[in-house]
Structure 1
Amino acid sequence: MQLLYMTVGKAYHMVYMAEWMEYAVNGICLLLLWGGLFSLLYNRKSDPKIRRGILLFSICLAGLFLGNIVLCIRCMGPVRDIISISPNLRTAMVLKQDRETGKVVAYRPGILWFVQESETFPYTADKKIKIQWLEKDVCAVTYTSPEDGNIHQYVMTYGARDKGDISPPMYSRLDGVWGPKDQNTDGWYLRTDEDGVHLKKDRRNLIYRYDDCVQLGSLVMMLYENGTPQWTVVLKKDCIIDKDTNLVTKGTISLCQVSMEETMPQNLAAPAFVFEGISTMWERMDENGIQLKEQMQKIIQEDPKLDVFVPGSINTPLTDGTGCKIVTDSTDIFQIGLLANQADPMQRQFTGYSEVQITSMELLAGDINDFCLEISYIYPESERLSNNNTDETSDKGDQEASKNYKNLRTFEYRIMKGDGVYLAAAADHLTDGTMGLEYPDTKQRIEVTNGEE
């Protein structure tokens, strides 16, 4: 077997799955050889010559065995084996990394415990390499490279589900809106249209043009931003593709963020299983967000100092009478957000406004000239127990707790800078206040305690 490996195996670039296996086989062969010879000569062990021969042969084999161990340790030093077995135990992902240069070579399963060289990673890798099986036949390898300091991902697929047929681009198969299913609780939706692939969660809307969508085989699509992978989309095995339209009509896809941190693949259901009105709701939110932006831009252009602006003159689908003028020299977006919340006439009409307690603020998008801010707060709910229906035997503490019952809510403001002033308007839940703004690279959020940052 070792001779076959040294001749035929080397010619086809086949190697052992792990470096130590070659030496393990050598060790097993030596032990079997010693055991076989001992068995043959066991009945003649009373002969002194035979005993000396067995002893001498055993010493030689022991020397070879120890030498084999030393060679194993020395040969394993320069190469690092990375092996991951698939969830269904039917295949394995094998990588070999040069410890000195960081070069990584991927291998495909061959015969028995042999693997065949497949491809060399385009970038060298740091020591930390993240392995994640996104499906039973799809494995993602995420790593950072010392060459550019960026994160990269290499995806390996095993087997072919399309039986060798030529597959169209994966994004052309994902028509409509794909939404959360089963254990997915993160709230991401995926949609494809003429602009590209959209990922949406709450107010966050990510768009990846088709030029930034990289197809890997027929099962995997990666979404890139500025040359860096951001998301991996995988067709799961339950997907059913219509032969006439090439569209996925049933099944689920896996959506996973590219990160060196721990990430959980999210299952998104085919359009047939998603709430039918979600696509229309998205369109309404976008349209309302554009209208709000245009209203505010027009006000700023016509009246930069807001000298004639009337507070409460901006309307959104669910909010009549929002909009306020903020006079401040501050360039702190969170301080400006607090002032907007205090000055908004719509908020001041709210019963119990004086008892509202702001807990946190987060910049959703934009910069000091034009931004969208989310404010989280708690406020006392109206009494649930009135004097008319309260049982005389009710505990007084329970009644008091009911009166002080708190609710956690969030509110968004679109804020634009004018000439020495700011114009702020509330964006209701049917209005995307981030339309036309750039999302920050890093999360910007502050906690507020008793009205102080």
Structure 2
Amino acid sequence: MKDRAKWKKIVGWTLFLIAIGFFCLQMGFLFLHVRYQVEYIDNRIFYMINLLFVVFLAVALLVLLKLKNSHQVIIASIGVIFFLTNIVLLENSNQQIRNITSISPSLSKIFSVKENVQSGEAIYYRPYYGILARPKEVLENKINGNNKVKWLAKDIAVLTYKDKNGDIQQFVGTYGDRKGGLSYYYVGAEIHGVWQGDNVTVTSGPDGINVTVGNESELFSWENLEQFGTLAIVLKKDNEAVWTIALKENFEVHSDASKPTVGNISLYKATMEENQPIILNYIDSN
């Protein structure tokens, strides 16, 4: 009996301390939110933490305190009311803000876009402190309907969606660098030359980037390229995304242009259908 009471006490205090931890986390978040405009990278996290807090606290109190049945019912009832209230608030939040969130395969990066359902404004959020983030930029085109996120590297995520005109657009979130963050560089210039993959050839030259799939070729002038960070570019035609080119993790950027090109690039077609990126190997200078 003594061992059982001892373990019951240990479990109860452990649950109580976890609940206090969740409470402190929420208080810290609210302080940072007011002072530095920091938000959770996904709005649903706030309500999920509230739900965990009330569950752990209610169970801890029921385990630690010797209460009459009537008091246990009161604690359980308060917990249920608080739990259901947060469920309602969570659902209401989902109706106001649509969270587009994706975690990288390495679990080290998080891509986040929050769309205001009423206005259609979509904002890209940059993570700074784990699950905390700040707004980085507003997407140029409003999201209309479904979307998909694909990671082309452990630090490159592509959001593909249709805008209000039904045109396909791509927005790229980048979270790294291939030059140690020492300076800004242009992806198109760094991939100068000929690249080949599965029935695909990409040539970066003075006039732009030419993409050949099978027997069909299309040239994208430099004016029709949009760069994201220092890791990816989107090739466009008539203001619609066609391809995204990304630098793979093994790609090396050299200050000395005479050094050989090392690494791979990834070519990803802009389509709402499920598709996989094509890995390209460097063949020769153009």
TM-score for both structures, normalised by structure 1: 0.53
Backbone CA RMSD of aligned residues: 2.4
Match of 1:64 in 2: 82
Partner residue, 2:278: 266
Residue 162 of structure 1 pairs with residue 186 of structure 2: no
C-alpha deviation, 1:232, in angstroms: 1.2
1:86 paired with 2:110, answer no
Which residue matches 1:96?
Answer: 114
Offset of residue 160 of structure 1? 2.6
The 2-side partners of 1:66 and 1:193 are apart by: 60
Q: Deviations over 1:82-103 (max 9, x none)?
A: 2212122211212222233332
In 2: Cα distance, 1:36 partner to 1:199 partner: 62
Name the CA distance, whole Å, in 1 between partners of 2:79 and 2:186. 59
The match for 2:19 is none
The residue correspondences of 1:19-418 to structure 2 (distance < 5 A) are 19-42=43-66, 45=67, 51-146=69-164, 148-180=165-197, 184=198, 187-245=199-257, 249-272=261-284
Q: 1:40 to 1:99 in 2, by over 3 A?
A: same
Distance 1:162 1:65, change over 3 A: same
Shift of the 247–103 alpha-carbon distance from structure 1 to 2, 3 Å rule, reads farther
CA contact (8 A) 2:170 2:234 kept: no
Q: With the length of structure 2 as denominator, give the TM-score of the two structures.
A: 0.81
Give me the whole-angstrom Cα distance separating, in 1, the residues matched to 2:42 and 2:186.
36
| Cα contact 2:161–2:272 (8 A) shared by 1 | yes
1:15 and 2:39 equivalent? yes
Structure ranking higher in helix proportion: 2
CA distance in 2, matches of 1:174, 1:59: 63
CA distance in 1, matches of 2:272, 2:80: 45
CA distance in structure 2 between the aligned counterparts of 1:248 and 1:138, rounded to whole angstroms: 24
- Corresponding letter in the other structure for 2:94: M
- Matching residue's letter, 2:201: Y
The 10-residue stretch of structure 1 (251-260 or 109-118) with the greater mean CA deviation from structure 2 = 109-118
Residue 178 of structure 2 contacts residue 252 of structure 2 at CA under 8 Å; is this kept in 1?
A: no
- Cα pair distance change 1:113/1:261, threshold 3 Å: same
What code does the residue aligned with 1:142 have?
A: T
Q: Find the aligned partners of 2:175 and 2:258 in 1 and give their Cα distance.
A: 22
CA change 1:239–1:113 in 2 (3 A) is closer
> Which runs of no fewer than 5 residues in structure 2 stay unpaired?
1-24
Name the SS for the 2:54 alignment partner: helix
Q: Contact between 2:161 and 2:170, CA under 8 Å: does it hold in 1? A: yes
| Structure 1 position 246, deviation (Å) | 7.1
Letter of the 1:66 counterpart: L
Contact 1:174 1:247 in 2 (8 A): no
Deviation per CA, 1:410-434, whole angstroms, max 9, x where unpaired?
xxxxxxxxxxxxxxxxxxxxxxxxx
Quote how far apart the aligned CAs of 1:52 are.
4.1
Task: Give the % identical residues.
Answer: 26
CA contact (8 A) 1:254 1:265 kept: yes
Output one character per residue of 1:194-229: Cα deviation in whole Å (capped at 9) or x when no partner.
Answer: 222222244423222222222222111222223222
Larger radius of gyration: 1
| In 2, Cα distance between equivalents of 1:71 and 1:174 | 49
CA-to-aligned-CA distance 1:252-294 (integer Å, 9 cap, x gap): 111122222233211111125xxx9xx7xxxxxxxxxxxxxxx
Given that 1:81 and 1:94 are in contact with CA atoms closer than 8 Å, whether structure 2 keeps it comes out as yes
CA–CA separation in structure 1 for the residues paired with 2:271 and 2:225: 17
The CA distance in 1 between the partners of 2:41 and 2:189, in whole Å, is: 38
Aligned mates of 1:83, 1:207 — CA distance in 2: 33
Q: Deviations over 1:144-202 (max 9, x none)?
A: 111x332211100112332222233222222321112xxx2xx1211233222222244
Higher relative contact order (CA 8 A, sep 6+): 2
Secondary structure of the corresponding residue to residue 29 of structure 1: helix
Which SS does the other structure have where 2:203 is aligned?
Answer: strand
Gaps of 5+ in 1: 280-453
Between 208-217 and 55-64, the greater mean CA deviation after superposition: 55-64
Distance 1:59 1:168 in 2: 60
Q: How many residues get paired?
A: 262
Output the amino acid matched with 2:98. Answer: R
- Contact 2:248/2:265, CA 8 A, preserved across alignment: yes
Letter of the aligned partner of 1:237 in structure 2?
E
